[in-house]
A and B are shown apart, each in its own frame.
Chain A
Amino acid sequence: MNDTSEPVLRARGLCKFYGKDESLVRAVDGIDLDVAAGETLAVMGPSGCGKSTLLHLLGGLDRPSAGEIRLAGERLDQMGERALARLRRSAVGFVFQAFHLMDELTAAENVELPMLLDGRSPRAARRRAQDLLTQVGLTDRATFLPAALSGGQRQRVAVARALANEPLIVLADEPTGNLDSAATLEMLRLFESLHAAGQTLVIVTHDARIAATADRLISMRDGAFADETRLTGGNTGRLADLAGLDG
Chain B
Amino acid sequence: MQQEVLLAMLAKEPSYGYQLRARLDRALGPLGEAMNAGQIYVTLGRLEKAGLVGSERASGLPERPDRKVYSLTAAGQSRVAEWVSEVSWPKPDLAEFHLKLIAAAAAGLADPISIVDAQRRELLRRLRDAQRAVMAEPGQSDSALLLEGIVLRLQADLAWLETCEQTWTVRRGES
Q: How far is the CA of A208 from the CA of B130 in the complex (A)?
A: 12
Q: How far is the CA of A238 from the CA of B33 in the complex (A)?
A: 12
- Whether a CB of chain A sits under 8 angstroms from the CB of B7 is no
- Chain B interface, >50% SS class: helix
Q: Are B31 and A212 in contact (CB under 8 A)?
A: no
Chain B, interface size category, equals: 35 or more
- Whether a CB of chain B sits under 8 angstroms from the CB of A189 is yes
Chain A: residues with CB nearer than 8 A to chain B?
46, 181, 185, 188-189, 192, 206, 208-209, 211-213, 217, 219, 221, 226-227, 229, 231-240, 242-245, 247
Q: How far is the CA of A213 from the CA of B134 in the complex (A)?
A: 12
Given contacts A237-B34, A244-B90, 12 further A-B contacts (CB under 8 A): A181-B148, A185-B134, A185-B135, A206-B162, A212-B124, A219-B117, A227-B117, A234-B126, A239-B126, A242-B154, A243-B146, A244-B1
Q: How far is the CA of A151 from the CA of B30 in the complex (A)?
A: 30
Closest Cβ of chain B to A107, distance in Å, is 22
Instruction: List chain B residues, Cβ under 8 A from A244.
Output: 1, 90
Q: When the two chains form the complex, which single residue of B121, B133, B135, B158 contacts A188, counting CB atoms closer than 8 Å?
A: B135
Instruction: List chain B residues, Cβ under 8 A from A209.
Output: 127, 131, 151, 155
Closest Cβ of chain B to A176, distance in Å, is 12
The residue of chain B having its C-beta at the shortest distance from the C-beta of A227 within the complex is B117
Q: Are A236 and B31 in contact (CB under 8 A)?
A: yes
- Whether a CB of chain A sits under 8 angstroms from the CB of B149 is yes
Closest Cβ of chain B to A62, distance in Å, is 26
Among B1, B120, B146, max chain A CB count under 10 A is at B120
Instruction: List chain A residues, Cβ under 8 A from B134.
Output: 185
| CB 8 Å contact bits of B137-164 with A (1 = contact, 0 = none) | 0000000001111111111001100100
Q: Are A245 and B34 in contact (CB under 8 A)?
A: yes
Q: How far is the CA of A233 from the CA of B151 in the complex (A)?
A: 18
- Whether a CB of chain A sits under 8 angstroms from the CB of B98 is no
A239-B148 contact, Cβ under 8 Å, with A208-B124, A245-B1: no
- Whether a CB of chain A sits under 8 angstroms from the CB of B125 is yes
Q: How far is the CA of A245 from the CA of B39 in the complex (A)?
A: 12
Closest Cβ of chain B to A163, distance in Å, is 20
